[in-house]
Structure 1
Amino acid sequence: MDTPSASFAQLLPGMAGMVLVGSSVTVSHALVDAPLFTGQAVRYMAATALLVVIARLAGAHLVWPRGREWLWLTGLAVTGLVLFNLAVVRGVAHAEPAVIAVAVACVPLVLGVVGPLLERRRPSRQVLLAAPVVMAGAVLVEGTGRTDAVGVAWAALALGCEAAFTLLAVPVLGRHGPWGVSVHATWLGGALLAVVGVSGEGPSAAGELTASQWAALGYLAVMVTAVAFVLWYSTVRSVGAGRAGLLTGIAPLAAAVVGAVSGAGVPGPSVWLGIAVVIVGLVAGLRPGRPAGARRRSSLRQSGGADLHSSRGPSVEADPGDARGASGVHADRAARPGELR
């Protein structure tokens, strides 16, 4: 199996993004009574405007999708933004919120298996072993709850949509980069949510938002959408969807810490145990692996391959520059025309 290494610097954007996502749990409490789809449409459209401005200032080259890219990006917006919100809202009517959270906690394993396949490489054994540990820790942090069969179905949909948010971006990250994918996902999602909001909540629903709800939407638009999306997709492009998926375990940790700081109370023993388990899983899954050349030479020594080489003629040492993991693959992709840098 492929076990690409990832430097700590490459992981930092994704870690920061997941901290921001975790902080949204506390902020979102202000939106419990707000018109959901209208509020989310406002959030994503505002984030789009902000992303476009910042991208221009940063010198990022935004391009329109073409061909099949429309399918990937529209699918990302429909599943990762629209259907995910729907699954969460409808799901909590049949299940306690912890049930939905536990389902979403399974994302590391899904990304660890499917992500590398989309990137045309084998899943990493290291990630696959670490993913269940991160999942178990997240479950301890989130807790469990009661549900019925319908609630389980909504929870499964939430899991699929959460995974799709990352997986459907993989085929288009090469040409559009983190900025482009974030911009197109937010404006497409915002437009779709606006249609749903107007048809289901009425054209005047935005007027029902209170000052505190506008403030919460502003935070979500800026930090949890505009900033977190770019940070997350930057790490996905750098280290691959499989390894990045492990970082989703940071979100419930951040939610627990932010909740405690904001007055929700000190976490119980199970939460602290869950935090420790998640950290163990992250360390195990994200630690740098040995270069491929070193692994090949070690394997040859153990199997007596050195003698075989000597009997066949002069041996050729592996070029250390060829020992690349996911980061090397993405470095090659960065050289393609039209890709953001």
Structure 2
Amino acid sequence: MTPAERHGLWFGVAGVAIFALTLPMTRLAVGTPEAPLMSGMFVALGRAAVAGALSVLFLLVDRAPLPRRSEWRALAITSGGVVFGFPVCTSIAMRHVEAVHASVIIGVLPLATALVGALLHRQRPSRAFWACAAVGSVLVAAFAVLRSGSALRAQAADALLLAAILFAAVGYAWGGRLSQRMRAEHVICWALVLALPVSVPLAFWTRPQVPLPTGAWLGFAYVCVFSMWIGFFAWYRGLALGGTVRVSQVQLVQPFLSMMFAVPLLHERLDAMSVGFALAVIATVFVGRRMPVGRASAPPVLAPAVESR
């Protein structure tokens, strides 16, 4: 392993560790059904607004060039996925499910991202890859059904977490595609800046109207600065230095890191079912990301028609 690859691996570890705290910190900010704190909408939109303001300063200091006209559409899709879709779905869901529970479901995200990325780049996943994706989906669905039971709120929260996976996979795939033409940190910054006309007024409108404990504000501050901003810097830098194939494997430990953080921060309990399903999901992702993904065959080139005489 070269020094650059080693540095990239450590950047990747730092990024995954930052992202692993997102679910516990979100739960800390939104509270529980018995003791509600911030609304999920405020946490999601507020973190986008704060990170967007930081992005404006960063882009000005860095003298970043404006994106090309052809790049704005991809930035809008990226913003819709990682700035709005994933944060809104997870922030609303986290009031009704524990962070340990959510970590198991979100654990299938790397495989979903790989699948969306393959489709976006017109690649052809093998049957084995599709089989792993199907097994991972079944495992997550089974865990959600077993754990949610007949509670409608828990079922709705799991549905939101599944939607969050789709939003994040689309946002990561389009953001990764843009990172091939733009600096990676500029991608997330421009996506956040693009969202400011929506995130700022809605965050102000949904702001808390009553005093809240310090812990809730600390959780909110974390997801604003680290989950929505600095974490992407470390993660994308790691991918650039160490290579996507090598560094992306670090993501496999993210569900367990989230669980480990949830125990001391939220006093949640690790049980055999959660650990077992998490191991099964991680194993599925580990195998699936090693399955071959080939290029889709190009359309045949037609010979020019012979003009009739």
What is the aligned counterpart of 1:252 among 251, 255, 258? 255
Equivalent residue number for residue 29 of structure 2:
31
- 1:169 aligns to 2:175 (yes or no): yes
Matched AA of 1:227: I
Matched residue pairs, number? 278
Equivalent residue number for residue 46 of structure 1:
50
Q: Superposed, which structure 2 residues align to 1:78-227 within 5 Å?
A: 78-89=80-91, 96=97, 103-123=105-125, 144-146=147-149, 154-199=160-205, 201=206, 205=208, 210-227=213-230
Task: Name the CA distance, whole Å, in 1 between partners of 2:131 and 2:243.
Answer: 17
Residues 143-192 of structure 1: CA deviation (Å, up to 9, x unaligned): 83236586665444222112122012133112222210121122334442
- When structure 1 is superposed on structure 2, of 177-186 and 21-30 the one drifting more is 21-30
1:215 offset after TM fit, Å?
Answer: 2.4
CA 1:248/1:162 → structure 2, altered by over 3 Å: closer, same or farther? Answer: farther
CA 1:154/1:25 → structure 2, altered by over 3 Å: closer, same or farther? Answer: closer
- When structure 1 is superposed on structure 2, of 207-216 and 76-85 the one drifting more is 207-216
CA 1:24/1:239 → structure 2, altered by over 3 Å: closer, same or farther? Answer: same
Secondary structure in 2 matching 1:267: coil
For the 8 Å contact 2:104–2:277, the answer to whether it is kept is no
Task: Name the CA distance, whole Å, in 2 between partners of 1:261 and 1:140.
Answer: 27
Task: Name the CA distance, whole Å, in 1 between partners of 2:210 and 2:77.
Answer: 30
For normalisation by structure 2, the TM-score amounts to 0.67
Percent identity over paired residues: 18
For the 8 Å contact 2:8–2:247, the answer to whether it is kept is no
CA 1:157/1:259 → structure 2, altered by over 3 Å: closer, same or farther? Answer: closer
1:53 offset after TM fit, Å?
Answer: 5.7
Equivalent residue number for residue 67 of structure 1:
69
Task: Name the CA distance, whole Å, in 2 between partners of 1:42 and 1:90.
Answer: 13
Instruction: Answer 1 or 2: higher relative contact order, Cα 8 Å, separation at least 6.
Output: 2
For normalisation by structure 1, the TM-score amounts to 0.62
Structure 2: unaligned runs, 5 residues or longer: 31-36, 295-309
Equivalent residue number for residue 330 of structure 1:
none
For the 8 Å contact 1:178–1:230, the answer to whether it is kept is yes
RMSD: 4.4
For the 8 Å contact 1:107–1:245, the answer to whether it is kept is no
Structure 1: unaligned runs, 5 residues or longer: 1-6, 290-324, 326-341
Task: Name the CA distance, whole Å, in 1 between partners of 2:211 and 2:24.
Answer: 21
Task: Name the CA distance, whole Å, in 2 between partners of 1:54 and 1:165.
Answer: 21
Task: Name the CA distance, whole Å, in 2 between partners of 1:65 and 1:89.
Answer: 30
Task: Name the CA distance, whole Å, in 2 between partners of 1:205 and 1:249.
Answer: 35
